[in-house]
Amino acid sequence: MREKWLLDASIRDDKVVLSLYDEENHAVKEHETELVFHGYIISENPISLAEEIGGLDGVVSSRVEKFRIPPYYVDTVDVVVFKTKSYRLLRKLLNQGIGKGLKPVNNHPHPLVEALYRAGIRPLTRVNVDEKNTPATVEWRPADKDPAVDYVVLRVEHGYFVAETPGGENRFWELRDVAEFIVSNKFLLAFTDELTYLRLLEAEPSLARKVYRWVTGGGFHPSEYFEWSRLSYTPLSMMGNVSIGKILTTLEALLARDRKLLVDKTYGRREPWRTVRELLVYDRGGVVYQPSPGLYWGVCQVDFKSLYPSIIVKHNVSGETVDKPSCLNRTSFHWSPHTVCMDEEGVVPGSIRRLIELKELYDELGKKTGEELYEYRKSAVKWILVASFGYLGYRNSLFGSVMAHELVTSTSRELMRRARLVVEEKGYRVIHAIVDSVFIQGVASPEECVRVKELIEEATGFKAKVEAHYTWLYIPRDVKGLKGVANRYYGLLSSGELKAKGIMMVRGDTPILVKKAQYEALLELSKAVRPAEMASRLARAHAIIDSYVEKLRKGVFNVLDLVILRNAREGYVKPPAYVFEGEPPYRLAYVSGKLRYLEKVESLMIDVNKYIELLEKARRELPSKKDVEALMAGGE
């Protein structure tokens, strides 16, 4: 039998339905199969309950198993574990248990996810179906390709609806044009956010049936969704309301299930009482400098590789391992009051260890093949790793704690301190540091930058990479013009390209016209490859901004290039006027000094002075004459 892709899995009429995709024919065939669902209930009389459930029709088996209970998984509890091939019966028994005062546990992840996991059926991999109608997953390798499917990804950029397909991008201003585009094409999968999906259905109700599967978790690339689905055994049809944090929690919960660790939200890890001084010292985030603004020549940017996840894995940081009361093998740290129990691997490090390796593997495959596929997969894994730290201190986290969160941040601060000291001992100067990035001045070449990176790795014991080598780097001033801003900088790479972060040119809510103006100005600056050339290039950059100001004053512009995009958000204290004027995502323009919902394209309505203010704001992110003078004088 020809191998097919397991595109999706769902429960329909108490049957598990697998969506099998034939890549050659671009067709989906739905296949019914049986999987075993697991239910877990705590009872005062577990043996009698297990016997009672075991005697019911449709129950495959029922027995009592011991699970270790949170917060530290030392004590155990008897849990009635029953199996059934009927999802309907599973829900019925769990609901009846609640009605009788019993306590269902291990409620995460969804029973279908656990059933797929236990059966070894991984979504978005190739499968074979044998004579007994049983699917079997073909071994998945990270270098394997994704299925070639007809898809559309819908997102909003600068007010336009962007429809990305395998053939390229299409941009639409009107929502009804997007609907017509989808209707006229045969897409197997569509990816967008829930709000855009609902608005599309209002415009064209038949769209729900025009696409085989809508995934409303956001406008991410299919390869990102496929990777999340594969890693977490979560079918695409369940991705609509699944956050990155939930994907991480699914990985953790499946590991906990294998280890017989109870998943129960009613248990928490209480934060101990601390003095104000202790809070100030230990309850801090990562390192974030407030850099001095100005131009810096010869700058090397070294980033730690997956710093926070690597700390979690190397030091076994997990909610149940940090400050564990009963422990045989305890590790302490001179930079933190917290300790870690090393008796067994924690749930969090056990869940992400493979992900760190996978991210590096995708990075290598991307560099080796040049295929964008591996960049998408690396991005998908990266976001799970980012969540592994964020969820560590989240109050609803099943496997984290505030203490574990504090230990990771304090360790990161110690590592950044070591990095700074080792480069300064070699005569370099650290001009900026932010979370896991160090900016070092006085590095003449990319080759020297590699040597600096190796110094940092040796001093810290953690992997790092050369993120960039700048011929020059500029850190703009804040609104008062006195200090630098931590997450705002740009510069000319030694490769000749521009790299920017946080400035108006790269922000999603900056109008296209302002972006173009600043980008052209920075392109002019990038022609300065020696300090002596900066002054003349800066004058030309200012002239570019001036030309855009003049265009606005003369009315020479496209109104659509002035659109400012705002997304809907919760918790408005005082909703702005445009919330009542239109629907999200809000496409706005300045009219009479205020942002108003843009209904019609009429240039006479536009308040050009507000856009001139935005251009002047972009101008202020250019180096000042004092910056250039200080550079030429050999100052900061």
If you average pLDDT over every residue of the chain, what do you get? 93
pLDDT-derived band at 176, boundaries 50, 70, 90: very high
The answer to whether residues 319 and 460 belong to one domain is: yes
Question: Which residue has better confidence, 243 or 274?
Answer: 243
The answer to whether residues 401 and 524 belong to one domain is: no
State the number of CA atoms in the 13 A half-sphere of 508 facing the CB.
Answer: 11
pLDDT-derived band at 636, boundaries 50, 70, 90: very low
The answer to whether residues 573 and 462 belong to one domain is: no
pLDDT for residue 412: 97
173/181 Cα distance (integer angstroms):
12
Mean per-residue pLDDT, 436-440: 97
Q: Are strands 189-191 and 151-157 parallel, antiparallel or unpaired?
A: parallel
Instruction: Kindly give the interhelix angle for 222-232 and 244-258, rounded to the nearest 10 degrees.
Output: 20
586 within domain boundaries: yes
341/315 Cα distance (integer angstroms):
9
Task: Yes or no: say if 60 and 84 are a contact pair by the CB < 8 Å rule.
Answer: yes
- 268: pLDDT strictly greater than 70: no
3-state secondary structure of 123: coil
Residues above pLDDT 90, as percent of the chain: 81
State the number of CA atoms in the 13 A half-sphere of 40 facing the CB.
Answer: 20
- 583: pLDDT strictly greater than 90: no
pLDDT for residue 635: 46
The answer to whether residues 468 and 540 belong to one domain is: no
The answer to whether residues 460 and 601 belong to one domain is: no
pLDDT for residue 420: 97
- Structural domain tally of the chain? 4
The answer to whether residues 330 and 421 belong to one domain is: yes
The answer to whether residues 115 and 129 belong to one domain is: no
State the number of CA atoms in the 13 A half-sphere of 281 facing the CB.
Answer: 9
**Inter-CA distances, 628 with 360, 519, 616, Å:** 40, 20, 19
Provide the domain limits for residue 326. 280-345+395-501
Instruction: Kindly give the interhelix angle for 372-390 and 222-232, rounded to the nearest 10 degrees.
Output: 50
pLDDT for residue 2: 73
200/191 Cα distance (integer angstroms):
12
Beta bridge partners of 113: none
476 within domain boundaries: yes
pLDDT for residue 578: 83
Q: Which residue has the tokens 């550079």?
A: 631
Mean per-residue pLDDT, 496-505: 97
546/285 Cα distance (integer angstroms):
41
Least confident among 218-232, 248-262, 453-467, 480-494: 480-494
**Inter-CA distances, 551 with 142, 561, 615, Å:** 52, 12, 12
Q: Which of 315, 290, 281 is nearest to 460 (CA)?
A: 315
pLDDT for residue 287: 86
Tell me: the pLDDT tens digits for 345-403? 999 999 999 999 999 999 999 999 999 999 999 999 999 999 999 888 877 788 999 99
Mean per-residue pLDDT, 185-195: 95
Q: Could you say which of 52, 87, 119 is where a domain stops?
A: 119
- 428: pLDDT strictly greater than 80: yes
Residues above pLDDT 70, as percent of the chain: 95
CATH code for the domain in which residue 83 is found: 3.30.70
pLDDT for residue 311: 98
475 within domain boundaries: yes
Task: Yes or no: say if 135 and 129 are a contact pair by the CB < 8 Å rule.
Answer: yes
pLDDT-derived band at 36, boundaries 50, 70, 90: very high
3-state secondary structure of 129: strand
pLDDT for residue 270: 65
The answer to whether residues 568 and 611 belong to one domain is: yes
Q: Which of 302, 339, 146 is nearest to 227 (CA)?
A: 146
Residue 71: cis peptide before it, omega within 30 degrees of 0: yes
pLDDT for residue 271: 65
22 within domain boundaries: yes
436 within domain boundaries: yes
Beta bridge partners of 474: 295, 490
CATH code for the domain in which residue 550 is found: 1.10.132
Question: Which residue has better confidence, 129 or 20?
Answer: 20
490/499 Cα distance (integer angstroms):
5
Tell me: the pLDDT tens digits for 317-344? 999 999 999 999 999 999 999 999 999 9
- 603: pLDDT strictly greater than 60: no
Return the ∠ at Cα 367 (arms to 365 and 369), rounded to 5°. 65
440/432 Cα distance (integer angstroms):
7
pLDDT for residue 566: 87
Residues 6+ apart with CB under 8 A from 266: none
The overall pTM is greater than 0.85: yes
The answer to whether residues 332 and 446 belong to one domain is: yes
pLDDT-derived band at 243, boundaries 50, 70, 90: confident
Mean per-residue pLDDT, 473-489: 91
Q: Which of 300, 297, 304, 305 is nearest to 449 (CA)?
A: 300
A 10 A CB-CB count for 413 gives 16
305 within domain boundaries: yes
Sign for the pseudo-dihedral over CA of 277, 283, 285, 286: positive
**Inter-CA distances, 325 with 31, 118, 370, 609, Å:** 51, 33, 50, 64
Mean per-residue pLDDT, 544-554: 97
pLDDT for residue 273: 62
- 592: pLDDT strictly greater than 90: no
3-state secondary structure of 563: coil
Torsion from C-alpha of 576, 578, 579, 585, nearest 10 degrees: -120
The answer to whether residues 462 and 537 belong to one domain is: no
DSSP string, 277-336: HHHHHHS--S-B--PPPEEEEEEEEEEETTHHHHHHHHTT--TTTBT-SS-SSEEEETTE
The answer to whether residues 294 and 336 belong to one domain is: yes
pLDDT for residue 629: 86
Q: Which of 32, 30, 21, 12 is nearest to 188 (CA)?
A: 21
Mean per-residue pLDDT, 590-602: 79
The answer to whether residues 83 and 43 belong to one domain is: yes
Q: Could you say which of 464, 484, 501 is where a domain stops?
A: 501
229 within domain boundaries: no
pLDDT for residue 465: 97
A 10 A CB-CB count for 191 gives 27
Q: Are strands 59-68 and 76-84 parallel, antiparallel or unpaired?
A: antiparallel
365 within domain boundaries: no
Tell me: the pLDDT tens digits for 78-96? 999 999 999 999 999 999 9
Q: Could you say which of 62, 87, 119 is where a domain stops?
A: 119
Rama region for 323: left / alpha / beta (φ>0; ψ in -120 to 50; rest): left
Q: Which two tokens stand for residue 618?
A: 């972009």
119/34 Cα distance (integer angstroms):
10
pLDDT for residue 137: 82
CATH code for the domain in which residue 479 is found: 3.90.1600.10
Q: Which two tokens stand for residue 290?
A: 């407030």
- 512: pLDDT strictly greater than 80: yes
pLDDT for residue 282: 64
Return the ∠ at Cα 382 (arms to 381 and 383), rounded to 5°. 90
pLDDT for residue 596: 87
pLDDT for residue 481: 80
Q: Are strands 213-215 and 189-191 parallel, antiparallel or unpaired?
A: parallel
